[in-house]
Amino acid sequence: MTSALFSPLPLRSGQVLKNRIGKAAMEENMAGTGQLPDEQLFTLYRRWAAGGTGLLITGNVMVHAEALTGPAGVVLDERAPLQPFTEWAQAAKSGGGAVWMQINHPGRQVASGMPGVVWGPTDIGVSLGRHSSRFGRPTAMTPQQIDDTVTRFAVTAHRAEKAGFDGVEIHAAHGYLLSQFLSPLVNKRTDQWGGSLENRARMLLDIVRAVRACVSPSFAVAVKLNSADFQRGGFDADDARQVIGMLDPLGVDLVELSGGSYESPAMTGRPADERTRAREAYFLDLAKDLVTSSPLPLMLTGGITRRATAERVLDSGVAVVGMGTALAVTPDLPDRWRNHREADRQMRPVTWSDKALASAAGMAQVRHQMRRLARGRTTRPGTHPALALIAEQRKQRKALRGYRTWLSKSRGAA
């Protein structure tokens, strides 16, 4: 009997995923010259494509060259050459699965040393206690800047389709710009983008409409949404339920559920909410509630590493199992599951009490594995988190010098 994991999933757009296993987005921060994908990313995605996933979702691609989550972020705007993106799509599709580009704007979650802009719905900055200075102080977006950002998302989606991607995923989770607009803790606006949930969701809904209007009907459009922010008074599961309902008539194919932000990093398994700590499928309890009312197929991401857990997620009614870290360590995990094998290694846990630092170290560990795969090597999940964090910080400093130079030249040319 074939497991439901390996059954196809037809989507509204007519696209059919070959199985129910998706690689969730992980921010690679591996852009080459000109903030473009290069051979490193092509090699990495060929490794994942060969591993048997039905869907690969890229790490976030930035829609605004002046607003990056990190200095080695990939940018696809109206000026970027398409050829590197075409090669990236071809590499990711080499195993017969689909590839979607995750498209994103960081909003206020921009490191304080970065050039460019730091925007948010309001001027409320990221609150990380003694680490708060790691992020720039945001300015509240003007209506014109909001409209321009909606257009940028649409331009990036349109160009992603031209490059050969099968779809896009609009990132509205993890405390990035669209998540900031959805959050009543961050969005204190009193105009048409603030107040009620309908107003706070307006920017996301406008982006979905704009994207759907400029891509083919057969091109998939997905949204990544927090099941909850894990902050008292923040975006919660009932808000998520209502937003999914708002997305339903707009031609969305899939909603991926995750959770948390830099302020409460539930997506790394270290949330403020104790119920989700120290177990797999962090957000399954919330997803089970949302599945019963969701008119759209759901993908669940967060801490899934074993086939039994993945099957339990599907049994709950979730349509796609999303994995990040597990595939960074074991890129052929879907094929292993098909052959009734499990991963033989796990990522070394980060047990530091400082959750902001632990989250940064955890992400550095994951990037360390991705960089090894991108160089054609095997992974080393036992690498000490402190060593991974130090190495990542060095790479980021070097990348920042390159980004500053590139951005300055780009502005001059503009």
CA atoms within 13 A on the CB side of 337: 27
For residue range 191-240, what is the model confidence (pLDDT) as tens digits? 999 999 999 999 999 999 999 999 999 999 999 998 866 667 788 889 99
Position 295, amino acid: P
- Positions of the chain with pLDDT lower than 70, given as ranges: 1-2, 128, 228-231, 260-282, 414
Rounded CA-CA distance 414/408 in Å is: 10
Domains and CATH numbers, the chain: 4-413 (3.20.20.70)
For residue range 353-365, what is the model confidence (pLDDT) as tens digits? 988 889 899 999 9
pLDDT at 268: 47
Q: Which of 256, 248, 242 is nearest to 212 (CA)?
A: 248
pLDDT at 359: 87
- Dihedral (Cα; 358, 364, 365, 369), 10-degree rounding: 170
pLDDT at 277: 37
Cβ proximity of 298 and 318 under 8 Å? yes
pLDDT at 392: 96
Could you tell me the end-to-end alpha-carbon distance of the chain, in angstroms, rounded to an integer?
A: 59
Rounded CA-CA distance 267/183 in Å is: 17
State the pTM of this model. Answer: 0.94
For residue range 240-285, what is the model confidence (pLDDT) as tens digits? 999 999 999 999 999 999 876 555 544 444 444 444 333 466 677 8
